[in-house]
Amino acid sequence: MTPVTQILQRAQAGDPAAEEALLPLVYDELRRLAAAKMAHEAPGQTLQPTALVHEAWLRLGGDEQPTWQNRAHFLGAAAESMRRILIDKARRKARLRHGGGEPFEEIHESRIEMPAPPNEVLAVHEALDRLAAEDATAAQIVKLRYFVGMSVPAVAEALGLAPRTVDRRWSFARAWLKQAIESAK
């Protein structure tokens, strides 16, 4: 039986000294667990492993720990608590990026500029799946150039291609789409 399991059993029996001894005994292990979880997070993370451990400890009950069956049960709950903290933080960041609680504004269709007449856009969209089956990169270039309006250098950077390659594939895709749309009429 591990020392953690012994302390957990003493704490379950009501020994107040056991509850105080629990955190120092598991702190290093929790810190390693937090560091491992943080290693999988995006770079530039503002939450540090120590803060993650402290937050997880508080979520687990702080000094009023619930009944733990053994060390594995405790560490499993701590890992789940850390995972939820990281998910909550990611959701909070995403929420801020997508409006941050500002009131939703309905954009009327007339305020959206179309890159081309609606029937042309639909025809290109329908032909694009066929193009993707033949040349997926050319189809991706069409999406970025035609639908998003990116320049050749921007598309080249986004796809990791040379600008000349993008220009050549764009020319091919335009000719292919023109032929496909005309034959579909």
Quick one: tokens of 120? 């042309």
Range from 16-20, 64-68, 145-149, 171-175 that averages highest in pLDDT: 171-175
The stretch 95-114 carries a mean pLDDT of: 56
CB 151 within 8 A of CB 163: no
What is the CATH number that goes with domain 110-184? 1.10.10.10
Weakest mean pLDDT among 37-41, 141-145, 160-164: 37-41
pLDDT for 137 beyond 80: yes
Q: 12 and 69 in contact (C-beta within 8 Å)?
A: no
Residue 7 CA, chain-centre distance (Å), reads 38
Confidence bin at 114 (pLDDT 50/70/90): very low
What pTM, to 2 d.p., does this model score?
0.43
Structure token digits, residue 55: 């937050």
Please, which residues have CB within 8 angstroms of residue 60's CB and are 6 or more apart in sequence?
66, 77, 78, 81
